[in-house]
Chain A
């Protein structure tokens, strides 16, 4: 079907290309939460992208509203890289990137994009256990050092913070999240605050972490967002903060309370919000495990396995727990399968 459509489209695409000869970057497409804006990207910083529309109007788009930018003249398969990254198929992402002939690419924004996706995929796989965290850190650092004016910079900074956190470097992680907190948007600041709560949690300062999450929740209540998009973004951060709090409660010996809270998060979240649900079900599994409800914990982790396995880090965590719980449930074959998947997909032992 796609092949047919593409073939049918060939003559008209050729005509369009001819019409735009001479405007080197006239067919950039900025995909935002509200839709796509076509034009030529003229400049960008870590916080905004300026572009000239085809009718000559200039437009500035805030980075927190951007989902992705498709650049004119980029390799056709770069779009496949973006899709793979969005779907959590980081292996595919790296494989496709490896097949691209980067020497043929002149445009700086495209080169930055390639580096960013390489950094993202490498980091995400390393966080899930498939790769070296420090090597991944180097790739991400090379992006943040070279492209401080790129629209991916804040996301890369957060990623770097996550990598620091994963190797136990709490202070550097804090510093990276600080940079994220300097962003001018509420949802990014909340993200940074939540990430910092994660650092406290990793330091086993559960009460302080819970208090940090409570502050985030209070902020989201006080400032629920001006428009629909902002409200959605802030509501999502509120759910994430609640999850952080849930994890603290479970660790602090209040698993039943944690279970009640996380069930509320799951009920409120969109079922297709893969990142949030994967984390929520893992949190639910952990709390149930703490409460001695092993079979229900197993079912919680199974949600991640059968529904949200694209979230590599969460998936790896779920698999580790499933291996343990299947074993406890006297299902050694399923336990072995979970470990095998962990090994095959994330190289973890």
Chain B
């Protein structure tokens, strides 16, 4: 006979419930006991123990509840021990509980729970005894089996004594209170109720312990029957006394179970039937009835004359009336399990018609698969039975779409259940089962796929289109989960686009979006056009069909992120513009779009003017970037004020806003944004906020701050910012090299700003920038102490930036000349200092880089011979140094303006020198040799295009200013250079260099007296001539 589990702890659970329900005017405030009971019921024992610790110091918990916390902790330990599979750990946990109960009783003998704690000490003995009995039942017990059983009996005997004494004590207390005038005094009435509750508990525990003792003997042995009969009699007495109480009814149920185990199913069923006839309310009665039905189903299934139909009928009736998640409770799962067994056994009856057999097996499979999804006593058996039933049922194929779909849904449920188990298994004892679980998941997924595909094949004229699309959605989901993203995308998109009114449309669209994103992520970076185009189309369709739908917004955000990652900033902003103004995503979209446009503007401004998008476009980017950033930042700041957390997106957006203010010469506003308490990028960096540690936020914030402080003449702050930059560079691990890079980039940014202001004709702002920087740079350069290589280098670079920005290709401005001279002077100071004190240089090649920068200054100042001398001095020791070769060729080309012969030198090289073998070579290579040196090397691609452009330009200039007789030949050579490159490198026509080459070619064509048709026209003409299609 099957051993029925004996949930002793459950007695406490219901008594606790009765107590809670029964005490009127319970203390208001934190409902400690109910909450803990809820946590324990869900099996969250660790959380319950954490809560107990929290409650000890919480002002929300009353003193009375606080005094009971030790008791609650001990109860939690006992209940948690039940789920502990390792017997040793279980025993340890029970010991811990016993200590807590004992301490609680000793410390609080008058606490209302003290009596219950005394009983719990007995309960701990019972649980310990059960652990020994369980160990004895394991094959590993071997010869220790008897001694383990003896230990168990001893513990049960001790518990029995505890309960007997308690019963005696509680009976006396109850009698005493019964004889008092309790009816007139509510407090005494309550005390009497509690005394009776203690008494009932003691009696139930005693009966339960008798039953446990019986199970330490072989079934059908005399001691087994004797103890079980004693337990049945004891339960019978309790029932007779308390038949009007829930406790009495439980006693009846356990009495029935004793008879069931004694083989008297008829008697047991008689008791169970009485209980099943009880009303459904309150909820506690429903729980009792579910437990009783579980036992009754066993009787119907296991008797000599099984009543399978009765079992099926009663089980189905209960399931139909189940409320909430009742069918997933241990009782609900057991009822389903018995139902499945009943159906399977009925199906095996030879007298059953084939159709009925099929239905029975299908129902059995349905219930078994449900049980197999949830952790519980019957889960493993249910998994095995489901596999068995599937094999049988495979012979009976569904004949309609609905049948196949329903079977597919069961397989799908099973698949998801197994996936949940897989997810939860990591790091637990179930980890070893992962391979088997994965196999089971694959099997369930394959069956679900087969059934859904079959269901589509079984559609007929009567099938509704919505049903078909629902099945398609399930298939789509399975494709997605299986990593078949293109299949999922195709199917999901089909349903969403062709049947937008169907109930499956939105969810299919969502899956399609997710699938395209996955497909995009899996595709190689240069092969994502199809996925992007499909996502754009799908997002557009979702937004049009379901405006404001979260899926559409998700798709736009994803697309924007994709575009951002691939560097297509304008496209990112375009995608983000689709987010509705009222959407919760709008502020995030504003921030991202604003940054994207600001980034696009900066990138465009870094390009030579002929390669930039039209001015209206870049200005629109700038204006929109400001609007979006201000709006997004304002919304994000509001959220922050309402208690939100600052994140990287906001901090980065604030930085972009500050940079944007700088670019527009709104320096005070830039400072305000940077320093804004709480979320200003500089404030965050100063506070060492984790957000400021991400990316290069802190560095960029300080760079922006330095520019802003200099501009507003907050020179102390500017110096402090320089010191902070020093520290940041040191922290980067690269030290001075990093700092040099920072200052060089700052100088370039300043140069760009000056150029922009000059081009925009904003004389006032330009003057302010220049003057403020001059004051600060002079101050830094003139410091008696504290200057380092980096600080002086920054001064030089900044003057070079200011001078270059003003110079704009023509050394026409005296102001530019002054800055360039100051730059040259500072670079020269650096050279001299390094020559005098080599340790002053932060790295060995610092002198070379300073020399190159000085040569650049000299070239811009028009002092070409001096510049060339400096460059040759470098090239003599480093002949293959590309930077130096490039600058030297550039210098020769610039010198061509004074003497056209220099154009030829720029092309062909200059400064002959003898090698050791007597051969002569040019120290300065010139453009041709430089091109040959970098050609085909991807890392020098930009240098290659730049040098090629210079080559054509030099030829053009030489043609225009050189010997008149060679003009035509040189112009033709210039043109041929571009033509040759365009033909051999098709990327030129589409790439970022196309505008510059196009402009140069037009100049050449004009010089040749031809129409300036440009690059594309030339390419078309050459391909046509080549006879290509």
A residues near B (Cβ < 8 Å) are 1-3, 80, 83, 86-89, 271-272, 295-296, 298-299, 302-303, 305-307, 309-310, 334
Q: Are A302 and B400 in contact (CB under 8 A)?
A: no
Could you list 13 A-B pairs, sorted by A, with CB under 8 Å?
A: A2-B399, A3-B359, A86-B460, A272-B465, A295-B527, A295-B530, A299-B486, A299-B489, A302-B486, A303-B494, A305-B487, A306-B475, A306-B487
Interface string of B464-501 (1 = CB under 8 A from A): 01001000100100010000101101110010001100
Q: Inside 8 A of B453's CB, which chain A residues have their CB?
A: 309
Q: Inside 8 A of A80's CB, which chain B residues have their CB?
A: 399
The answer for the CA separation of A2 and B362 in the assembled complex, in Å, is 14
Task: State the majority secondary structure of interface residues on A.
Answer: helix
Q: Inside 8 A of B389's CB, which chain A residues have their CB?
A: none
Distance in Å: Cβ of A162 to nearest Cβ of chain B? 22
Q: Inside 8 A of B399's CB, which chain A residues have their CB?
A: 2, 80
Q: Of B359, B491, B530, which is within 8 A of A307 by CB?
A: B491
* Residues of chain B in range 391-427 having any CB-CB distance to chain A below 8 Å: 399-400, 402
Q: Inside 8 A of B475's CB, which chain A residues have their CB?
A: 306
Q: Inside 8 A of A271's CB, which chain B residues have their CB?
A: 494, 498-499
Q: Are B494 and A296 in contact (CB under 8 A)?
A: no
The residue of chain A having its C-beta at the shortest distance from the C-beta of B522 within the complex is A331
The answer for the CA separation of A304 and B815 in the assembled complex, in Å, is 72
Q: Are A87 and B400 in contact (CB under 8 A)?
A: no
Q: Inside 8 A of B491's CB, which chain A residues have their CB?
A: 306-307
Q: Are B457 and A310 in contact (CB under 8 A)?
A: yes
Size category of the B interface is 20 to 34
A303 touching B457 in the complex, CB below 8 Å, given contacts A2-B400, A80-B399: no
Q: Inside 8 A of A309's CB, which chain B residues have their CB?
A: 453
The answer for the CA separation of A1 and B402 in the assembled complex, in Å, is 10
The answer for the CA separation of A143 and B370 in the assembled complex, in Å, is 51
The residue of chain B having its C-beta at the shortest distance from the C-beta of A326 within the complex is B486
Distance in Å: Cβ of B491 to nearest Cβ of chain A? 5
The answer for the CA separation of A310 and B453 in the assembled complex, in Å, is 10
Inter-chain contact total with CB atoms closer than 8 Å: 47
Q: Inside 8 A of B465's CB, which chain A residues have their CB?
A: 272
Q: Inside 8 A of B490's CB, which chain A residues have their CB?
A: 299, 302-303, 306-307
Q: Of A86, A87, A298, which is within 8 A of B486 by CB?
A: A298
- B783, CB-defined interface residue at 8 Å: no
Distance in Å: Cβ of B449 to nearest Cβ of chain A? 11
Q: Inside 8 A of A272's CB, which chain B residues have their CB?
A: 465, 468
Q: Inside 8 A of A298's CB, which chain B residues have their CB?
A: 486
A302 touching B487 in the complex, CB below 8 Å, given contacts A1-B402, A80-B399, A88-B457: yes
The residue of chain A having its C-beta at the shortest distance from the C-beta of B476 within the complex is A306
Q: Inside 8 A of A86's CB, which chain B residues have their CB?
A: 460
The answer for the CA separation of A33 and B158 in the assembled complex, in Å, is 86
Q: Are A87 and B487 in contact (CB under 8 A)?
A: no
B residues near A (Cβ < 8 Å) are 355, 359, 399-400, 402, 453, 456-460, 465, 468, 472, 475, 479, 484, 486-487, 489-491, 494, 498-499, 527, 530
Q: Are A296 and B479 in contact (CB under 8 A)?
A: no
Q: Are B355 and A83 in contact (CB under 8 A)?
A: no
The answer for the CA separation of A296 and B523 in the assembled complex, in Å, is 13
Q: Are B494 and A307 in contact (CB under 8 A)?
A: yes
Q: Inside 8 A of B400's CB, which chain A residues have their CB?
A: 2
The answer for the CA separation of A307 and B479 in the assembled complex, in Å, is 13
Q: Are A87 and B459 in contact (CB under 8 A)?
A: yes
Known: A89-B457, A296-B530, A307-B494. 11 other contacts (CB 8 A): A3-B355, A83-B458, A83-B460, A86-B460, A88-B457, A272-B465, A295-B530, A305-B487, A306-B487, A307-B491, A310-B456
Q: Are A299 and B479 in contact (CB under 8 A)?
A: no
Q: Inside 8 A of A2's CB, which chain B residues have their CB?
A: 399-400
The answer for the CA separation of A214 and B127 in the assembled complex, in Å, is 89
Greatest chain B CB density within 10 A among A83, A298, A299, A306 is at A306
The residue of chain A having its C-beta at the shortest distance from the C-beta of B465 within the complex is A272
Distance in Å: Cβ of A315 to nearest Cβ of chain B? 12
The answer for the CA separation of A2 and B489 in the assembled complex, in Å, is 35
The residue of chain B having its C-beta at the shortest distance from the C-beta of A302 within the complex is B490
Distance in Å: Cβ of A56 to nearest Cβ of chain B? 29
Q: Inside 8 A of A302's CB, which chain B residues have their CB?
A: 486-487, 490
Distance in Å: Cβ of B363 to nearest Cβ of chain A? 12
Q: Inside 8 A of A305's CB, which chain B residues have their CB?
A: 487
A87 touching B457 in the complex, CB below 8 Å, given contacts A299-B530, A302-B486: yes
Q: Inside 8 A of A307's CB, which chain B residues have their CB?
A: 472, 490-491, 494
The residue of chain A having its C-beta at the shortest distance from the C-beta of B475 within the complex is A306
Q: Inside 8 A of A1's CB, which chain B residues have their CB?
A: 402
The residue of chain A having its C-beta at the shortest distance from the C-beta of B486 within the complex is A302
Q: Inside 8 A of B527's CB, which chain A residues have their CB?
A: 295
The answer for the CA separation of A310 and B486 in the assembled complex, in Å, is 20
The 8 closest A-B pairs by CB, nearest first: A271-B498, A295-B530, A302-B490, A306-B491, A87-B457, A306-B487, A89-B457, A306-B490
Distance in Å: Cβ of A232 to nearest Cβ of chain B? 16
Distance in Å: Cβ of A198 to nearest Cβ of chain B? 27
The answer for the CA separation of A3 and B358 in the assembled complex, in Å, is 11
The residue of chain B having its C-beta at the shortest distance from the C-beta of A298 within the complex is B486
The answer for the CA separation of A306 and B475 in the assembled complex, in Å, is 9
The answer for the CA separation of A255 and B81 in the assembled complex, in Å, is 72
Distance in Å: Cβ of A102 to nearest Cβ of chain B? 22
Q: Inside 8 A of B479's CB, which chain A residues have their CB?
A: 306
Distance in Å: Cβ of B552 to nearest Cβ of chain A? 22
